[in-house]
Amino acid sequence: MDAQVGQPLKAESSRNEMSRRTGPRIVIIGAGVSGILAGIKLRERGWNDFVILERAETLGGTWRDNVYPGVAYDVPAHVYVYSFAPNPAWKTRYAKGPDIWRYYHDVARRHGVLGHIEYGKGVESAVFDGARWTVTTNDGESYDADVVIAAAGRLRDPKLPDIPGKETFAGSSFHTARWDNGISIKGKRIGLIGAGSSGVQVLAAIAGEVAHIKQFQRTPQWVFPVEDAPVPWWKRLAFRLSPSYLRQTYQQLLDFSNSRGALAFETKEGRAERDKVCSDALLRIRDPELRARLTPDYDVGCKRLVMSETWFEEVQRPNVSIVSERIEKIEPQGVRTIDGALHECDVLIYATGFDAHAYIRPMELTGEDGITLDEVWSELPLTYRSVSIPHMPNFFMLNGPSSPGGSASIVGIVETQWAYVDQLLSQVASEGVLIAPREDKAREWLAEVRERASNSVWATGGCQSWYLDHTGTPAYDAVTLPELQQSLAAPKMEDFEVRQASQVASPVQ
What sign for the dihedral angle of Cα 412, 417, 423, 428?
negative
CB 181 within 8 A of CB 201: no
Residues found in the chain: 509
CB 394 within 8 A of CB 496: no
Q: Are residues 189 and 59 in the same domain?
A: no
Task: Show pLDDT as tens, one digit a residue, over the chain (509 residues).
Answer: 333 333 334 333 334 444 445 689 999 999 999 999 999 999 999 999 999 999 999 999 999 999 999 999 988 999 999 999 999 999 999 999 999 999 999 999 999 999 999 999 999 999 999 999 999 999 999 999 999 999 998 888 999 999 999 999 999 999 999 999 999 999 999 999 999 999 999 999 999 999 999 999 999 999 999 989 999 999 999 999 999 999 999 999 999 888 877 887 888 888 888 899 999 999 999 999 999 999 999 999 999 889 999 999 999 999 999 999 999 999 999 999 999 999 999 999 999 999 988 899 999 999 999 999 999 999 999 999 999 999 999 999 999 999 997 767 899 999 999 999 999 999 999 999 999 999 999 999 999 999 999 999 999 999 999 999 999 999 999 999 999 999 999 999 999 999 987 544 333 33
Structural domain that includes position 295? 166-229+238-350
Question: CA 501, CA 509: separation in Å to the nearest integer?
Answer: 17
Q: What pTM was estimated for this model as a whole?
A: 0.92
Count of CB atoms situated within 10 Å of the CB of 503: 11
The per-residue pLDDT for 23 is 81
Q: Are residues 343 and 413 in the same domain?
A: no
Question: CA 479, CA 483: separation in Å to the nearest integer?
Answer: 6
CB 442 within 8 A of CB 381: no
Q: Are residues 337 and 297 in the same domain?
A: yes
Question: CA 439, CA 441: separation in Å to the nearest integer?
Answer: 5
Number of domains forming the structure of the chain? 2
Can you give the C-alpha Rg of the chain in angstroms? 24
The per-residue pLDDT for 133 is 98
Beta strands 320-323; 133-137: pairing state? unpaired
In a domain, 508, yes or no: no
CB 495 within 8 A of CB 443: no
CB 414 within 8 A of CB 398: yes
Question: CA 294, CA 313: separation in Å to the nearest integer?
Answer: 13
Amino acid type, 85: A
Question: CA 436, CA 369: separation in Å to the nearest integer?
Answer: 13
CA distances from 504 to 368, 391, 395, 436, 462 (A): 8, 11, 15, 12, 48
In a domain, 105, yes or no: yes
In a domain, 53, yes or no: yes
In a domain, 10, yes or no: no
Among the candidates 321, 350, 379, a domain finishes at 350
Q: Biggest alpha carbon distance in the chain?
A: 74
Residues 411-420 have pLDDT tens digits of 999 999 999 9
Question: CA 34, CA 156: separation in Å to the nearest integer?
Answer: 13
In a domain, 7, yes or no: no
What pairs with residue 142 in β-bridges?
136
Task: Choose among 2, 64, 54, 474: nearest CA to 264.
Answer: 474
Q: Are residues 77 and 170 in the same domain?
A: no
Measured in degrees and rounded to the nearest 5, phi and psi for residue 85 equal -140, 65
In a domain, 71, yes or no: yes
Q: Are residues 219 and 340 in the same domain?
A: yes
Task: Choose among 235, 242, 241, 278: nearest CA to 260.
Answer: 278
The per-residue pLDDT for 264 is 77
Q: Are residues 284 and 369 in the same domain?
A: no
Beta strands 123-128; 133-137: pairing state? antiparallel
The per-residue pLDDT for 490 is 97
Q: Are residues 327 and 290 in the same domain?
A: yes
Q: Are residues 144 and 103 in the same domain?
A: yes
Among the candidates 318, 350, 382, a domain finishes at 350
Among the candidates 300, 334, 350, a domain finishes at 350
Question: CA 350, CA 373: separation in Å to the nearest integer?
Answer: 31
The per-residue pLDDT for 260 is 79
Helix, strand, coil percentages for the chain (3-state, nearest 5): 35, 20, 45
Q: Are residues 93 and 146 in the same domain?
A: yes
Q: Are residues 365 and 309 in the same domain?
A: no
In a domain, 6, yes or no: no
Question: CA 173, CA 194: separation in Å to the nearest integer?
Answer: 14
Q: Are residues 329 and 369 in the same domain?
A: no
Amino acid type, 221: Q
Question: CA 272, CA 504: separation in Å to the nearest integer?
Answer: 55
**CATH number of the domain that 263 lies in?**
3.50.50.60
The per-residue pLDDT for 340 is 97
Question: CA 455, CA 474: separation in Å to the nearest integer?
Answer: 10
Q: Are residues 383 and 337 in the same domain?
A: no
In a domain, 182, yes or no: yes
